[in-house]
Amino acid sequence: MQPVRGILLKISSVLVFIVMASLIKYTSDTIPPGEAVFFRSLFAMPVILAWLAWRHELHAGLKTAQPMGHVWRGIVGTLAMGLGFGGLAFLPLPEVTAIGYAAPLLVVIFAAMFLGEEVRLFRISAVVVGMVGVLIVLSPRLSVGADISHAEALGVMLVLGGAVFAALAQIFVRKLVATESTSAIVFYFSLTATLLSLVTLPFGWAMPSLTEAALLILAGLLGGVGQILLTSSYRHADASVIAPFEYVSILFALGIGYWVFSEVPTLTMLGGAVLVVCAGIMIIWREHQLGIERARQRKAMTPQG
């Protein structure tokens, strides 16, 4: 294990994904979300395939024992991506990022509902804290008499919907990892998302300008690179070490939002984001502790020679 290298790879993946989201946001005035999903997914595949070929894992990485599992994961994951991209058109980048932190909190709830996982008071409390944080982020747009446009209200609904589907996608991934390689999960998601995005073609795709096409293609390539960096990070350090660095994304989002889109964060948004981040780290810490306890129990049950 090389934890420092794993952390650096994780932070790099977070930065790449935020830059990718920024490119999608930059083109969102003229490019509909479904079309953005198409470019993001299609141009990620060559990067992923090249990486698998370089590692001599192309054949093994594309084997699958659960093709329908990939389809269902692809459907909910594509909905999450499309809704998130739609929200970027209406809300500031840091706000979209902060609301998106609701997804790992919802995973705890969905894991109890659909996977039968036991959720005790500590994690329930963390989820409640996190949801309060999300409500604080949204409070300026939910207050009675708030000066909020229909576009902003739509943006809130889109991003929240994206967080729900992102959490559901993680539930499907938890089922898939029992039999599927990470490479297969990543590749078949990109393939499924590319095909599903074509369903939105009749609803009005736009002919991108050369600049927009270049930015969308770059977003797709960065999506593939980000996925490789993320996958590689877990080869060098435990998930409990790496996972908290996901929240570095709010710093990148704040910086890019301010310098590129002239988005100035409010104290309310920052305060809510801090609560959500703290709740997420609490859950990660608890998962780590439970993992240690389970390892001790397995060790205690192993016959000593």
Would you state the pLDDT for residue 146? 57
What pLDDT does residue 104 have? 86
What integer pLDDT is reported at residue 292 of this predicted model?
72
Closest CA to 6 of 221, 233, 181, 218: 233
pLDDT for residue 61: 75
Q: Which tokens go with 142?
A: 């939910």
Q: Which pTM does this prediction carry? A: 0.88
User: 67-88 and 182-197 helices cross at what angle (nearest 10)?
Assistant: 60
CB 229 within 8 A of CB 186: no
Which pLDDT score is estimated for 141?
Answer: 72
Q: What is the pLDDT along the chain (305 residues), one digit of tens a residue?
A: 677 888 899 899 999 999 999 999 999 999 999 999 999 999 999 999 999 899 888 887 788 889 999 999 999 999 999 999 999 999 999 999 999 989 888 988 888 888 887 778 888 888 889 899 998 988 877 665 556 678 888 899 999 999 999 999 989 988 888 888 888 888 999 999 999 999 999 988 999 999 999 999 999 999 999 989 988 887 887 766 777 888 889 999 999 999 999 998 889 999 999 999 998 888 888 777 776 776 677 666 666 55
**pLDDT confidence of residue 142:** 67
Q: What is the pLDDT of residue 145?
A: 55
Selection from 9, 13, 46 nearest residue 226 by Cα: 13
pLDDT at 200: 95
Q: What is the pLDDT of residue 282?
A: 86
Domain residue extents for the chain:
3-301
